[in-house]
Structures are given as C-alpha cells and as structure tokens.
Structure 1
Amino acid sequence: MGSVLGELLPLAVGVAVSPIPIIAAILMLLGRHARTTSIGFAAGWLLGIVVAVAVFVALGSAVDIGGSSSSTGWVKIALGVVLLVVGLRQWRSRNKESATPKWMSAIDEMRPVTALGIAFALAAINPKNLVLCAAAGVTIASGALSVSGDIVAVAVFAVLASTSVVVPVVGYQVAAARLRGPLDSLKSWLQANNATVMAVLILVIGIVLIGKGIGAASG
C-alpha cells in the first residue's frame, strides 16, 4: 500500500493544481450564490475524480494488469508520452492569451446542480485530468491490492487531488469575509501563471511515469 500511495502522490498534485477548476471555484466563491454553488462544484469535482480513477482501476483489474509488470510498464510509458506531448503543447502556448470558457461568464447565475455537472465533467472528461486519473488507476490496479485496499487508495488519491478546490470552499463556509481578498489575489496569479505552472508539472510527471514504466517493463 505504501509504495502505491507514494506513486499516487505526484499524480494527485498534478490534478490538484489544474488551474481551470481552481479559478472556477474562486469565481463561484466571489459570486452571487457563493455558498451553495461552490459546494455543488466541490462535490462534483470530488465525485468526478473518484469515478474516473475507479473506472481505470476496474479496467486494469479486468485485464489483470497487476499480474504483468511488463504490461504495466508499457501502459505507464504510453501515458507518460501523452503527458509529455500535452505538457510541451501547453509550454509552447504559455504566453498566448486563452479565451475564457463561456460557462465561466454565467457563474453568477449558476445553481448547485449545474456547478456539480460542470465540475464532474472537468474532473472526469477533461483530457489532461483524464490522463492523470488513468495513470492513477493503472498504478492502483498494478499494486495488486485487496478490494478494500483499492477503495482506500482511490479515496486517498481523490481527497489529495481535490484539496485545491475543496479546501477553499470549506474555508469560505467558515470565514467568508477573511478569504475574499486572498481568493481574489490567488485568482489573478493563477490567470497569469497557470499555463507555465501546469506545463512544467505535466512534463515532470510525464518523465517520472516514463521512467517508472521503463523500470517495470524491463524488470
């Protein structure tokens, strides 16, 4: 279990620093229906991560990926290459101004159920997140844990990966007035630097995955 959790940590960090959901959560916390909409968003983000990772754990277990270190290695290499490609593309476009997603302009009028659905899609369907969740699922499946061990690993990953969204939302429920200033500053910083931070992190995680994959494939 310890080695599996150790491998999951950088992947969870990669999901946690995804800038779009963090910015969306902050905008909701600064919006008209801050308390209710942000809770729906946080719940959808956490649920999306759980579902995405659980699906890949189930797929990995179905093909008995844990029984072959070679197959696990090649899968990790493939996922690492995908992350490298994504990271390089993001690095090349880091200085370009990206258009704000249309749904963000409607955040002020958004309701909890809509926020939940958007967060779920960002967590479970967004390509960058999906690759990281797939890598987490493969890592858990290849760990040959018990069913309860798989559940614990998925839960730990989901909690760690969702902290950047859940913690501000929970904090806002407790101390809304104090957090408005810091949240606004964080939003501005993320909007200015998110592409560079995310590109570097994805590249590092991709290289780590490839290295671990080569070790497993040749082992």
Structure 2
Amino acid sequence: MSGDGASVFAELIPLALVVALSPVSVLPALLLVLYSARPRAAGLAFAVGWVVGLTTLTVLFVNVPKLLGASADTTSSSQLWLRIIGGAVLIVSGAVLWLRRKQAARSARWLDAVGKLSPARTAPIGLVLALVNPKIIVACAAAGLAIAVAPLGTVGRGAAAVYFVVLAGSSTLLPVLAHVVAANRFDHVLDQLRSWIQRRQAEISAVALVVIGVVLILTTLGGR
C-alpha cells in the first residue's frame, strides 16, 4: 500500500470508531441474538440493514464532490472543516451526555423492545437507525469526503469504503457472528456484555465521544 493510501486508511479509523463504539451499534444486535424468538435470522437481518445503511451513506458522500462538480481543493477543505466541526460537536455532545447520563439511561429503555421484533422488521430498523442518526451521518460524511479527495483511484476508493464500513460495522457484526458460529459458548458472555453496556451506555458514549472528538481534531490539524 502506498504512503497516501496508508494515510487515508489511518484517517478513517477514528471516524469508524465513532460508529463502532456507539451503543446504538452494539445493543440492538446483542438484544436480538439473546432475546429474539429467531435470534440468528433477526440478528443477521439487523446487521445487513445496518451495514447497508453505512454503505449507502459512505458511498453517497464519496460521490458528492463529483455530483456537485466541486474541485479537489474545495472538497479537501470541506472535509477538513467537517472533521474539525464534527470533532467539536462530538466533544460537546459527550460532555452534555455525561452531565445527563442518568436521564439518558432511563430514556434508552426502548432498546429492550428491539429483542421482540421479527427478522422482517429488524432489517429496515437497522437501515433506518444508520441513516437517521446525526452522529453516524457526520462520521460517514467525513469518511466519504476523505476517500473522495484521496489519490487512490477507483479501486482504491472502493477498498477504502469497504474498509471503513467493515470497521464501523464490526461492533454490530461480531456479536451476531459469534452467536451464529457458537451460540452455546458465547451467549453467556454476550449477555454479560449486554447487561454492562445497558447499565453504562451513557458513560461509554460520553467518554468515547470526547476521546474520539479530540483525536479527530488533533489528527486533522496535525495533517494540514
């Protein structure tokens, strides 16, 4: 891989972590494989919908500069500002979430209902959750624009988009695949993980948002 390619792939890591470390990426999949009447089908359907949503957003923003006829310099400047603004928004959101963590824990109980949904419903829910979450949109937008301005070529951009989506969707895919491969071995561990994340999801999100926001700003400023 060339130096430019390696640099772009490194830039995508904090953006992917914004998605992967979000409880909304992890908890629905865990609830489905643990409590659904058809855990394998429901979990896989949700994961497919989630990954399709991430892919749609990322590919859309990879192609936005071309569709708008923007120059490479304009696009590069836009993605730098998006990363800085996005990082600042993540830091502020994390601070607010930390201060309101008790209220956030109570308001997130709707996730318990996800485990009761059929596979036919979990796929569109996964898709919608990916497409309407502001944090997910910002991360995918920044990733897509970063890929768009990178000197990678068509194949390289495709590989970078796949890399981002796989990394961003890993926290959703891994519990589902663990259940599919060895449910008896992993379900107890997954249940403990689900219980811990549910109790601490506000704190996890707050810390992750602040840390990733800081990393995003510092890596953006350091690379200018």
Q: TM-score, normalised by structure 2?
A: 0.86
Contact 1:66 1:72 in 2 (8 A): no
Q: Which residue of 1 aligns with 2:85?
A: 78
Tell me the CA shift for residue 100 of structure 1: 3.5
Does residue 7 of structure 2 align to residue 7 of structure 1?
A: no
Report the TM-score, using the length of structure 1 for normalisation.
0.88
Higher fraction of helix: 2
Aligned in 2, Cα 1:42/1:106: closer, same or farther, shift over 3 Å? closer
Q: Decide which moves more: 207-216 or 22-31.
A: 207-216
CA pair 142-202 structure 1, distance change in 2 beyond 3 A: farther
For 2:162 and 2:22, locate their aligned partners in 1 and report how far apart those are by CA, in whole Å.
Answer: 19
Are the equivalent residues in 2 in contact too, given 1:75–1:213 (CA < 8 A)? no
Kindly indicate whether residue 162 of structure 2 is the aligned counterpart of residue 158 of structure 1.
Answer: no
Amino acid at match of 2:113: S
In the other structure, the counterpart of 1:42 is: 47
Structure 2 residue ranges without an equivalent (≥5): none
Q: Which of 26, 30, 37 is the matching residue for 2:34? A: 30
Tell me which amino acid in the other structure corresponds to 1:6.
A
Aligned-pair CA distance for 1:79: 1.9
Instruction: Tell me which residue corresponds to 1:195.
Output: 202
Change (3 A) 1:183 1:7: same
CA distance in 2, matches of 1:27, 1:70: 41
Contact 1:83 1:131 in 2 (8 A): no
Distance 2:89 2:148 in 1: 20
Do 2:34 and 2:115's aligned partners in 1 also have CA atoms closer than 8 Å?
no
1:176-195 alignment, distance < 5 Å:
176-195=183-202
Quote the residue 2:56 is aligned against: 51
Determine the C-alpha separation between the residues in 2 that align with 1:78 and 1:65.
21
Deviates more, 1:80-89 or 1:9-18: 80-89
* Residue pair 1:65, 1:142 contacting (<8 A) in 2 also: no
Post-superposition offset of 1:66: 3.3
Pair 121,65 (structure 1): closer, same or farther in 2 beyond 3 Å: farther
Q: Secondary structure at the match of 1:64?
A: coil
Specify whether residues 130 and 83 from structure 1 end up closer, same or farther in structure 2 by C-alpha distance, changes over 3 A only.
same
Task: Give secondary structure in 2 for the equivalent of 1:8.
Answer: helix
RMSD of Structure 2 on Structure 1 (CA):
2.1
Letter in structure 2 aligned against 1:42: A
Q: Percent identity?
A: 37
- Cα distance change on mapping 1:3 and 1:65 into 2, 3 Å: farther
Q: Which amino acid aligns with 1:107?
A: G
Change (3 A) 1:4 1:180: same
Who is 1:64 aligned against? 70
> Displacement of 1:213 after TM fit?
4.0
Gaps of 5+ in 1: none
- Give the C-alpha shift of residue 29 in structure 1: 0.7
